[in-house]
A and B are shown apart, each in its own frame.
Chain A
Amino acid sequence: MEGQLSRLGRVSPPAAEVLEAARDALWSAVAAEMLATGPDEGRRAPAGQDATRSREREA
């Protein structure tokens, strides 16, 4: 049964350009964050990062 079920879920691998297009979207966000943070600010945690946790790791 598990084998039959796996066969039901078989899909062919994505085209390289599909993966690249998705990565390009990510790169835009990465680049924006890199531009927004200068060299000294680069080690600051982004929004959502728990400040306490950051301090604990730095200690």
Chain B
Amino acid sequence: MQTDGVLIERSVRGRPDAFVEVVRRHEVAVHGFLARRGGREAAGDLLGEVWLRAFAARGGYDPGRADALPWLYGIARNVLREHWRAGRDLADPVAEVPDDPWDAVVERIDSGASARTLAAAVRALPPDERDVLLLVAWEELTPTEAAAVLGIPAGTARSRLHRARTALRAVLSRDDREEAGAWKVN
């Protein structure tokens, strides 16, 4: 099987249709990325825009990179941020532009108490740390791949991930202790 890098290079060199195979390989994953952060409806609306942007930018892709998924996540992330900004513009043109409306993500999570605790803990993380954490936990990227998506050094991604995990563990263990205390009282 040809790598994504080979297919993208072919698409640059006179076979633009080769790019469609790259899209077929990653369309479910990129849709999932968009749906987890923007909701399913927005994901459906934005997916075509991601492909168009990626197609237009493919000349700058390094064909030595076998897997194009981190690159596509980076493009999807930019499309999503512009979508959020546009939404905010419509609602309130002078309001501060949000980079990551995590509240909307949490609203989509319907689950039990522990999931809500975890969602609240994720919400409390600095956005930079949350970005890395969710790329690793949700998209199953390595810290190095997450760094490529975000355009940051791999070491920075690793340290943000470590801080995020440490913060979440602290919140969850505090929650467990409080729950155990409540059982004793009852």
Contact = CB atoms under 8 A, between A and B. Distances in A.
Contacts of B28: 13-14, 19
B119 interface: yes
- Give chain B's interface secondary structure class: helix
B90 interface: no
B47 A18 contact: yes
A23 B23 contact: yes
Interface residues of B, number: 46
B27 A44 contact: no
Contacts of A29: 16, 52, 55-56
B134 interface: yes
A46 B51 contact: no
A47 B186 CA distance: 69
A22 B51 contact: yes
B118 A11 contact: no
A7 B115 contact: yes
Interface residues of A, number: 35
B12 A46 contact: yes
Contact of A48 (B27, B50, B60): B60
Given A1-B172, A4-B114, A11-B40, A45 B13 contact: yes
A26 B19 contact: yes
Contact of A1 (B14, B40, B169): B169
- Give chain A's interface secondary structure class: helix
A38 to B, nearest CB: 10
Interface string B15-39: 1110110011001100110011000
Interface of B: 12-17, 19-20, 23-24, 27-28, 31-32, 35-36, 40, 43-44, 47-52, 55-60, 109, 111, 114-115, 118-119, 122, 133-134, 137-138, 165, 168-169, 172
Given A21-B47, A25-B48, A42-B15, 13 more contacts: A1-B165, A1-B168, A7-B115, A9-B36, A12-B40, A14-B27, A14-B40, A19-B27, A25-B51, A44-B14, A45-B59, A48-B57, A48-B58
Interface of A: 1-2, 4-9, 11-14, 18-19, 21-27, 29-30, 33-34, 37, 42-50
